[in-house]
Structure 1
Amino acid sequence: MPDPTSSRFLNVLAGTPSTPVPIWMMRQAGRHLPEYLELRAQAKDFLDFCYSPSMAAEATLQPIRRYDMDAAILFADILLILDAIGLDVRFEKGVGPIVETVDSESDLHRAPIEKAVQRLSPVYETVDRVRTGLSEDKALIGFCGAPWTVALYAIEGRGGTDKSTARSWAYTKPDLLKKLLALLVEASAQYLHEQVKAGADALMIFESWAEGLPSDLFQTLVIDPNAALVARLRALGVNVPIIGFPRGAATMLEAYTRQVPVNGVGLDTSIDPQHALQAVPKTMAVQGHLDPLLLIAGGEAMDARVRELLEAYKGRPHIFNLGHGVRPETPIPHVERVVELVRAGV
């Protein structure tokens, strides 16, 4: 585990601004890298890849070698937790994840949480391998999907839907939804606890499907379960910094940052920096929020936006990142250019 004083990333999460600003990118390990594609071809399927400590560790380290990012993020998937609790999860090429849906309370008891956590032991081995392979100034981020986001897949069966079935559960099956969220809070807390025990220096909670919720549902489906997850982690003795990413929070960003006791908050592409400066407490790190499509386009517009974001958060704890993940068609020189600009501080 790195000495916090040697890690810009961890210093910022402790509330201390850094020059230069630390940088990493969501999905920095993945399909835009030729070395990843070569490695991925060796696995039978995506789940096999995630459950192979040697391959997942190598994928995690690839962007550190290529870009010298300040943090590595564990290569895994937010849906591994559903696979572990006994739901059928598969990834179809060109389609994405397909998940066996939850229909009744009996579906919530297929595997005890202790067994589910044990089922994910290859992930902890990956964490251990990566932490061993990282230098002292690099941090390793463990992660999970937030309860609502993971629940959505278990209800809808896939992502990319209008989320109407899952949202309807808040009105038509509130008790079952509450039990599903509680299960995911506990399972995710134990999962993240094991990641920290294996060597993760920080954690991130991905609330990828927060967008479009009415304010009352944002409170009960996003804020309350996220706050419960953080509280449970602290009760388990987890003391590493935590980043929350309520993608699509919009006007509920301030409520999230005031009620979910995270150390940093990820911002999506829709958030205006001036809104973020008002909504996020001054001691809380902001992370984000360059548009991944602008990263693909590159050029002067990209350079200008990088400079704008660096200027906007000057003097605040700031981690440079994207508003969503690196896309497969992203040119490597554009990523290199962003890293260059951030490191130069201009």
Structure 2
Amino acid sequence: MILKNDYFLRSLLRKSVPYTPVWFMRQAGRYLPEYRKVRKQVGSFMNLVTNPEYACKVTLQPLERYPLDAAILFSDILTIPHAMGLGLNFLENHGPIFSHPTNNEESIIKLTVPDLNDLNYVFDTIRLVNKELDGKVPLIGFSGSPWTLACYMVEGQSSKEYKTIKTMLYSRPDLLHKILEVNTESIIQYLNSQIEAGVQAIMLFDSWGGILSDEAFKVFSLDYNKKIFSKINRQRNGNIIPIIHFTKGGAVWIKDISSSGCDAIGVDWTINLREARDKSLDSVAIQGNMDPMVLLGSHKSVISEARRIIDSFGMVGESAGHIFNLGHGMNKDTPHELVLDLVNEIHSYSRQYHV
């Protein structure tokens, strides 16, 4: 498949492009009225994720509204533990919850890599999306990181303190390493299968890496992410498959992450992009980093912040890459009209920084 717009992929590999490409984490979701309509029609979030036709439909919805430079597969980071038999459900106004959390020695010893046939709905969705995209833009596949998946698997749901898994980390690290090892092998197989199905880039969401201490992050998160990057099939049909690493709250570890084997680092809004470039020595592309809450402000403030972020990154040449994104997922209350203004401004204003 020949891509009509490959600026996103070229930027990940730090190649020249005419403007800064843009996509948004959670760009398909509750802020779009057409998404809410489909979500109501299918009855539950899990019904939506596991139905390739509907998942394809909502993956494409933001591309029908906005001239974005990439699509991201509509799925969830918790599909792997669900396939392991943990029983994933999403409760209204509560979020994900597992019926069978993995937080005792017996359940951890039994934990195994899932049968990838139980995740065929994900791969079928990828094939459907690529057929519909017809080369318009690249499609991003993704997974949660071993540590982030473990947080949900052990806690059984979202948490504020992550007391159960941190207790395990400090009292029974052997059990935690067992979970992380199984998760790592599962993610390697899962991402390689996504690549085989047709995604053109991979993103690893280490959403909860930022809750760890400095040493714990390197041992229980980054070391496992490195193993994944080393085992990803980086080429398909003669094309390189770039990898993005995103740790919310991970700005302090940019130097370590930049040498992990990824091609780009996603950063949140807590660091200036010039500083991120300096820390990484331009050895990777940088993705980010608008605070999603900016989009709840005025048109003027959105445009001003977009320009500030582009200015902060500076010139983009043959050795540097910038992909504009939010520092976390799109808020459900985002006015969808402002998103179009933001995308157009990024494409227009950033041209002065590309050579």
* Fold similarity call, TM over 0.5: yes
One-letter code of the match for 2:248?
A: R
Distance in 2 between residues matched to 1:163 and 1:297, nearest whole Å: 32
Query: For 1:64, what is the secondary structure of its paired residue?
Result: helix
Q: Aligned partners of 1:257, 1:70: CA distance in 2, in Å?
A: 23
Residues 133-163 of structure 1 show CA distances to partners (whole Å, capped at 9, x for unaligned) of 1142400000000110010001111113212
Q: Classify the secondary structure of the residue corresponding to 2:143.
A: strand
Partner of 1:175 in structure 2? 174
- Once the two structures are TM-superposed, the CA of residue 208 in structure 1 deviates from its matched residue by 0.6
Does structure 2 retain, via aligned residues, the 8 Å contact 1:242–1:263?
yes
Q: SS state of the match for residue 204, structure 2?
A: strand
Q: Partner letter of residue 121 of structure 2? A: P
Contact 1:8 1:137 in 2 (8 A): no
Superposed, 1:279-290 pairs within 5 Å as 279-290=279-290
SS of the residue 2:269 aligns to: coil
TM-fit CA distance, 1:121? 0.3
Secondary structure of 1:85's counterpart equals helix
Amino acid at match of 2:255: E
Q: Deviations over 1:192-220 (max 9, x none)?
A: 11111111000000011112311110101
CA contact (8 A) 2:103 2:155 kept: no
Task: Tell which deviates more after alignment, 247-256 or 315-324.
Answer: 247-256
Q: Secondary structure at the match of 2:22?
A: coil
| Maintained 8 Å contact 1:2/1:139 | no
CA RMSD in angstroms comes to 1.9
Instruction: In structure 2, give the amino acid aligned to 1:241.
Output: P
Match of 2:228 in 1: 229
Paired residues in the alignment total 343
In structure 2, the partner of 1:273 is 273
Cα 1:236–1:263 change in 2 (3 A) is closer
Instruction: Verify the 8 A CA contact 2:204 2:244 in the aligned structure 1.
Output: yes
**Is 1:343 matched with 2:347?**
yes
Residue aligned with 2:325, SS: strand
2:353 maps to none
Shift of 1:305: 1.3
1:310 and 2:310 aligned: yes
Shift of 1:111: 7.0
Q: Deviation at 1:332?
A: 1.0
Alpha-carbon distance between aligned partners in 2 of 1:154 and 1:319, rounded to the nearest angstrom? 31
Matches of 2:182 and 2:125, distance apart in 1: 25
Instruction: Kindly indicate whether residue 39 of structure 2 is the aligned counterpart of residue 53 of structure 1.
Output: no
Gap change, CA 1:114 and 1:96, over 3 Å in 2: closer
2:107 is aligned to 107
Residues 6-45 of structure 1 mapped to structure 2, 5 A cutoff: 6-45=5-44
- Identity of matched residues, %: 34
Closer, same or farther: CA 235–344 of 1 in aligned 2, 3 Å:
closer
Asked whether the equivalents of residues 188 and 228 of structure 2 are also in contact (C-alpha less than 8 Å), the reply is yes
User: Residue 195 of structure 1 corresponds to which residue in structure 2?
Assistant: 194
List alignment gaps of at least 5 residues for structure 1: none
| Alignment partner, residue 322 of structure 1 | 326
TM-score by length of 2: 0.92
Does the 8 Å contact 2:112/2:182 carry over to 1? no
1:234-290: CA deviations, max 9, x gaps?
4998951110101111312221212x1101111111122232021124141111100
SS class of match (1:142): strand
- Stretches of structure 2 that go unaligned for 5 or more consecutive residues are 351-355
